[in-house]
A and B are shown apart, each in its own frame.
Chain A
Amino acid sequence: MQNRMLIIGTVITVVVVVVYFDRRAVHAELAELRHDAASNAERQVMEPPLVRVVSSPAPVRAAAEPLAAKPEPLATPARAEAREAAPHKPETPIEQFALVHDTLETAFASQAHDGVWAMEARRRMDATLLARLPVKSAVTSIDCRSTLCRIETTHDGYAYAREFVGQLLTPERQPWNGAFYTGPIAQDSRSGAVTFVTYLAREGVELPAIPDSSGDEPAAH
């Protein structure tokens, strides 16, 4: 029986060690490939292609034809790396907040009205947060449900919105000790005015979980 357990234990250890080293080897190979690709891309940048030296109508044609219309040659590691290295358009603050906004908006819409708490919450908000509203900021709407309050505000720009958010972060200026999310949902392209929405949870109640788009287990890291 003991021998059998020993054999099983050894087999498990061997399998685990083999898998571990296999993963390491794959990682090392990938790193090497990336390095090679980066070197190739660097060389391509440093050594301009002949077509750029020889005077030809090629650049004109390139400008006239959209890049997407060109047939894409087979992807090489160097090309893939070059694509990855190209600067991507960063997410705007509105886009960054979109997932949180969508999740909480749905949760808020599904909640029932709680007359007593909602009235008390509204009173406390008037006395604290809204009484000290920064200049060039205005409240568009306030609505409280069973465990959540939704506050929509407009600000003449992000600088004023930052002041408003700063108040939420200061415990003594918060209407009550509650978890919250706040962020921009729209911006006027001409005036620069931004619309913010804030979801403030009732004290002792957790905010609805935001889907973990990274696919990792929440709280694991």
Chain B
Amino acid sequence: MKKTLMLSIASLSAIAAGLSISNISFAGALACTGYSVEHPDANCFSASFCAMQNTCTTPKRWEVSDFITTRGNHTALVTGLRPNGGTLTCRACSVTKEGFAVGCTEQVALSVVDIDTQFTVGTVNVPDFGGLFVTCEMSRGARYDSVNF
């Protein structure tokens, strides 16, 4: 028992110190920090615990963005929910600091239904002081919870 406890403590400490030393950081945002791509569609979205849900009958797009200081590759992981019979498709794009699109992944659809699931959207290269945005097209009842990149 003691052995397991000590080993667990040692392992956790090693992981924490390793992360601190290597300067690896995990960025991301909750969906409610984003915005509706089409301004008039904003009323279609409702927030619940910072997750955004489309309440309108037609598919709507919600976007979450962040600023990236150092050039590099970022893999976007979206967590969301697709209702049975509905759709949730997302794409990640990078932009320059001047707001020019550089690259986008293809649109990736969530295949799992009726449960909040994290799925990989793809990797994009972001230039220095650029940005990254992840847009999801959501059918009625689909939910965009958060994004990591």
| Chain B residues within 8 Å of chain A by Cβ, number | 42
Q: Complex Cα distance A9/B21, Å? A: 20
Q: Check B24 against A220 for contact (C-beta < 8 Å).
A: yes
The answer to whether A100 and B102 touch (CB under 8 A), given A16-B10, A210-B73, is: yes
Q: Check A180 against B122 for contact (C-beta < 8 Å).
A: no
Q: Check A165 against B72 for contact (C-beta < 8 Å).
A: no
| Chain A residues within 8 Å of chain B by Cβ, number | 48
Q: Could you say which residues of chain B place their CB within 8 Å of the CB of A100?
A: 102-103, 125
| Distance (whole angstroms) from the CB of B111 to the closest CB of chain A | 14
Q: Check B107 against A218 for contact (C-beta < 8 Å).
A: no
Report which of B3, B101, B106, B130 forms a contact with A182, defined as CB distance below 8 A: B101
Enumerate chain A interface residues (CB-CB to B < 8 A).
Answer: 2, 5-6, 8-10, 12-13, 16-17, 19-20, 23, 91, 93, 96-97, 99-100, 158, 162, 165, 168-169, 171, 177-183, 201, 203-204, 206-207, 209-210, 212-214, 216-221
Interchain residue pairs with CB less than 8 A apart (30): A5-B3, A9-B3, A10-B6, A12-B13, A12-B14, A13-B6, A13-B10, A16-B10, A16-B17, A19-B17, A20-B20, A91-B128, A96-B96, A96-B128, A97-B102, A165-B101, A168-B104, A179-B104, A179-B106, A182-B101, A201-B106, A206-B123, A212-B72, A212-B73, A213-B71, A214-B71, A219-B73, A220-B24, A221-B24, A221-B25
